[in-house]
Amino acid sequence: MKCFSLITLFLAPPFFSCPSLLWAQRGPTSSSRSGVSMEIGIQVRNADGTAGPRGIHVRLEAAEGGSADDCVTEQGGKCQFHPNSTGMYVVRISQLGYKEVSLVVNLVDSSKQYVTLDLRPLPGPTPTDSTDFTFEDTVSAADLSVPEHARREFEKGESALRENKLDAGISHLRKAIRFHESFPLAYTLLGTAYLEQKNWKDAQAALERAAALDRKSAAAYLSLGAVFNQTQNYRQAETALLHGLELNPNAPEGHYELAKTYWALGRWQEAAPHARKAVADLPDLASPHVLLGNILLRERNVQGAVHEYQEYLRLDPNGSMAQGVRQMIEKLQGASTPN
């Protein structure tokens, strides 16, 4: 499934959707099995079937955006996760030199699962995800003062990102900033490039700098909110996203990110209008349909939830959430069938 950048969320056809999973609810307000320890055991294997090496980074992803946990394999290629709530999760390996692999894990019906991930070596450098970039944020006074050599580097960086050359794009943007430190557009685009690389630390630093240089940049604040969602800093995400939406109330991706924030905080009633706004404005973007489906279940609207899940499958039948969504549809339809 294509992963998009928030940089255009209010300027061009929106194209940002972070990986997310059905029904995983995190945080102290999440529903969990009282007194039951949740566990996901991980076994990483080499291509020849032998136990994987020490030091492989494995990521656990949960509901509607972002990492739920991380672990690093020990001797024998093993590690464990202990989620604090029931739900559908994804375990993922994105290791340099290997193909990305992932598996859906169901902690709705069971408190413990054991999964095996097979390392698949790449013949060359690890490819980046296919990504389109456009960049048309509001030009600030600081941007108007950018010298020509800095602007040329910025344009080279923008062009490289359009061609999915993230490393080259980042290099040019960093040069543009070296030539002209007060360049908010460059910082914003640099931050979204880091966001695309899942480099949360550098993304946050670049976007905070962009926001400091241009307090009216909705793109900077909304992208920053997306970073905070990924790092589970939901209170900071809420602050950044609310400010970004104050600057641009019609940014559908901003509403989607804020819906994810409220869902993660257990405030699903507040998430509802933002999820509905995202689905209404972005009907062909798959992942918001899952979040809206989850909310409709909380509203006891099973038929509406199934419809949204089916819309997700229609739009992204092979997406990272597809297996979990199908399982949930089967469960809901089975429960509604008379014995």
Q: Where are the domains of the chain?
A: 39-121, 145-249, 252-338
User: For residue 168, what pLDDT is reported?
Assistant: 93
Mean pLDDT calculated for residue range 266-279: 95
Highest average pLDDT, of 56-65, 140-149, 153-162, comes from: 153-162
Provide the pLDDT for residue 199: 94
Whether the CB-CB separation of 273 and 252 falls below 8 Å is answered with no
CA distance 17 to 172: 25
Q: Does domain 252-338 have CATH number 1.25.40.10?
A: yes
CATH number of 39-121: 2.60.40.1120
The pLDDT, as a whole number, for residue 336 is 67
pLDDT of 33 reads 45
What average pLDDT does range 179-187 have in this prediction? Answer: 92
Q: 35 falls in which pLDDT band (50, 70, 90)?
A: low
Residue 173: pLDDT above 50?
yes
Q: What is the mean pLDDT of the chain?
A: 80
Contact status, residue 83 vs residue 113, Cβ threshold 8 Å: no
pLDDT recorded at residue 9: 32
pLDDT tens-digit series, residues 225-256: 999 999 999 999 999 999 999 999 988 889 99
Are 145-249 and 252-338 the same fold in CATH? Answer: yes
Span 206-218, mean pLDDT? 94
Alpha-carbon span 211 to 204, nearest angstrom: 10
* pLDDT of 215 above 70: yes
**For residue 203, pLDDT beyond 90:** yes
**CA quadruple 238, 15, 122, 49: dihedral sign:** positive
**251 in Cβ contact with 241 (< 8 Å):** no
Share of the chain above pLDDT 90, in %: 45
Quote the pLDDT of residue 337. 62
Cα–Cα distance for residue pair 126/16, rounded to 1 Å = 22
Helices (H) and strands (E) in the chain, counts: 12, 7
The top-scoring range by mean pLDDT among 3-17, 116-130, 290-304 is 290-304
Q: What DSSP element (H or E) covers 114?
A: strand 112-118
Angle at which helices 218-230 and 252-264 pack, to 10 degrees? 30
pLDDT band at 338 (very low <50, low <70, confident <90, very high): low
pLDDT interval class at 89 (50, 70, 90) = confident
Q: Which helix (H) or strand (E) covers residue 240, if one does? A: helix 234-247
Percent residues over pLDDT 70 in the chain: 78
Instruction: Give residue 34's pLDDT.
Output: 44
User: How would CATH label the architecture of 145-249?
Assistant: Alpha Horseshoe (1.25)
Estimate to the nearest angstrom the gap between the alpha carbon of 123 and the chain centroid: 27
Nearest CA to 125 among 162, 160, 91, 167? 167
Question: Which of 47-56, 75-84, 132-141, 251-260 holds the top average pLDDT?
Answer: 251-260
The answer to which of 52-66, 209-223, 233-247, 313-327 has the lowest mean pLDDT is: 52-66
Q: Which of 12-21, 29-38, 93-102, 273-282 bottoms out in mean pLDDT, i.e. has the lowest? A: 12-21
The pTM of the full predicted model, rounded to 2 decimals, is 0.61
Q: What is the pLDDT of residue 11?
A: 29
pLDDT digits (tens, 9 = 90+) for 90-103: 888 876 667 788 88
Three-class SS string for 16-83? CCCCCECCCCCCCCCCCCCCCCCEEEEEEECCCCCECCCCCEEEEECECCCEEEEEECCCCCEEEECC
User: Rounded to 5, what percent of the chain is helix, strand, coil?
Assistant: 45, 15, 40
* Amino acid in the structure at residue 135: F
> What pLDDT shows up at residue 18?
36
Short-list 143, 211, 204, 203, CA closest to 177 = 143
DSSP state of 130: P
Residue 82 has pLDDT above 90, yes or no: no
pLDDT score, position 59: 83
